[in-house]
A and B are shown apart, each in its own frame.
Chain A
Amino acid sequence: MIAQHRRAFATGAREALGVPAAVLGAGFLGYGSLAADAGYPVWLTLAATFAIWALPGQLVLMEMQAGGAAVVATLLAVSLSAARFFPMTLTLMPLMRRGSTTRGLWQFLLVAQLVSMTTWAVAIRRFEDRDLEDLEARWQYFIGFSMVCIGAAAVCAVIGQLLIGALPPLARFGLALLTPLYFFVTLVGEARSKASIMALVCGAAVALLLHAAAPGWSLLGAGFIGGTAAFLLQRSHARRG
């Protein structure tokens, strides 16, 4: 590794160590506490964080398993909650790969596992900067950045898991609310397009309506029925106006 690339790796790691790691850490602190509540041992919390590396999917899995949902329904719901990664890698990978002859396809398939909302958003913006014009520098930067994010998430999840038993009840409730609250603020705060706002409202409504009738299928229903409704509403709205 030449000095320039080592620097890019260090730059990525350093830039992750501020706000990105802290915000992710808060989400995973709450996840750890929920995992303890759901009866996960620490190794399962870590396994889920490394293997899935998508907090919504990890929560879907935990919720549906706790509710005794069917295996197929759970797998489908977790997978669908991760569908957002498809357009993310689709747009990010060409920026690290175009014309690259030094790295094989399998390396890009491996590094795709590191893509998350946070790492994607930062990388897409940073790759426009002068210091990251070089493909190899981008690759190193992305790995450095992602490693710190995953490390911070894993450490915080374990802290949350161990902390929850030692806290008084009030603080335990607060910790358990941290992750849902984090997602609530992220979703509502970041929903800018009409389609995403409609998807939020329709998804929440369908999940709550279905919850009483078929709890094991309510999340899938929220995704398919709510998402399709939002998509169609937004289309007809766009055509009219």
Chain B
Amino acid sequence: MPAAADIGLMILACGLATWLWRGLGVLLSGRLNPQSAMFEWVSCVAYALVAGLIARIIVAPSGLLAQTALMDRLLACAVAFIAYRLARRNMFVGLVCGVGFFMAAGYVRSVIV
């Protein structure tokens, strides 16, 4: 892990890199068509990157989550999503059910093993 000051510098740089997109949108607003192919590609890239991030955290996490079972993490995702849909797209119900399942599964494992 890098030193706190280095992380701080990176945070500032990343803040600027993130803001650039927001600022660019302000500067070009009213002059570009948000339905164009270029936009579609940009949003595909952003979507795929975030999907890759979440897939990596769930399948091959570092830190705390690395101590938990892959099957439990995958099932927790399924449980959260199903609960979210059953509760008419209620994020809270989804998260509570997913996290609840995950902790219950972890408990059962600790008792059995």
Residues of A at under 8 Å CB distance from B?
22-23, 26, 33-34, 37-41, 44, 47-48, 50-54, 56-57, 59-61, 63, 65-67, 71, 74-75, 77-94, 97-98, 105, 108-109, 112-113, 115, 170-178, 180-189, 191, 195-196, 198-208, 211, 218-224, 226-228, 230-231, 234-235
Decide yes or no whether B113 CB sits under 8 A from chain A: no
**What 9 A-B pairs are tightest by C-beta distance, nearest first?**
A222-B52, A89-B25, A203-B48, A207-B52, A51-B15, A223-B49, A227-B45, A203-B51, A204-B55
Interface residue range, chain B: 35 or more
B residues in contact with A54, CB < 8 Å: 18
Report the separation of the CA atoms of residues A142 and B35 in the bound assembly, to the nearest whole angstrom: 24
- B54, A83: Cβ atoms under 8 Å? no
A residues in contact with B61, CB < 8 Å: 180
12 A–B pairs (Cβ distance < 8 Å), ordered by A: A44-B11, A63-B53, A75-B17, A78-B18, A174-B102, A180-B57, A189-B84, A196-B44, A203-B51, A227-B46, A227-B49, A231-B41
B96, chain A: closest CB distance, angstroms: 9
Report the separation of the CA atoms of residues A198 and B45 in the bound assembly, to the nearest whole angstrom: 11
Tell me which of A66, A87, A234 contacts B39 (CB under 8 A): A87
Q: Mark B1-27, 1 if CB is under 8 A from A, else 0.
A: 110100110111111011111111111
B residues in contact with A171, CB < 8 Å: 103
A residues in contact with B45, CB < 8 Å: 80, 83, 199, 223-224, 227-228, 231
B66, chain A: closest CB distance, angstroms: 10
- B84, A173: Cβ atoms under 8 Å? no
B residues in contact with A226, CB < 8 Å: 48-49, 51-52
B residues in contact with A77, CB < 8 Å: 49
Report the separation of the CA atoms of residues A184 and B1 in the bound assembly, to the nearest whole angstrom: 26
Tell me which of B54, B62, B89 contacts A204 (CB under 8 A): B54
Classify the secondary structure of B's interface with A. helix
- B91, A199: Cβ atoms under 8 Å? no
Residues of B at under 8 Å CB distance from A?
1-2, 4, 7-8, 10-15, 17-30, 32, 34, 37, 39-65, 67-68, 73, 76-77, 80-81, 84-85, 89, 91-92, 94-95, 98-100, 102-103, 106-107, 110
- A207, B53: Cβ atoms under 8 Å? yes
Report the separation of the CA atoms of residues A234 and B94 in the bound assembly, to the nearest whole angstrom: 30
Known: A105-B26, A170-B103. A78 touches B60 (CB 8 A): no
B residues in contact with A75, CB < 8 Å: 10, 13-14, 17
Known: A181-B99, A185-B84. A203 touches B50 (CB 8 A): yes
A residues in contact with B51, CB < 8 Å: 187, 199-204, 207, 222, 226
B52, chain A: closest CB distance, angstroms: 3
- A56, B26: Cβ atoms under 8 Å? no
- A184, B19: Cβ atoms under 8 Å? no
B residues in contact with A109, CB < 8 Å: 23, 26-27
- A173, B85: Cβ atoms under 8 Å? no
Chain A, Cβ-Cβ closest to B98? A181
Chain A, Cβ-Cβ closest to B33? A90
A residues in contact with B15, CB < 8 Å: 48, 50-53
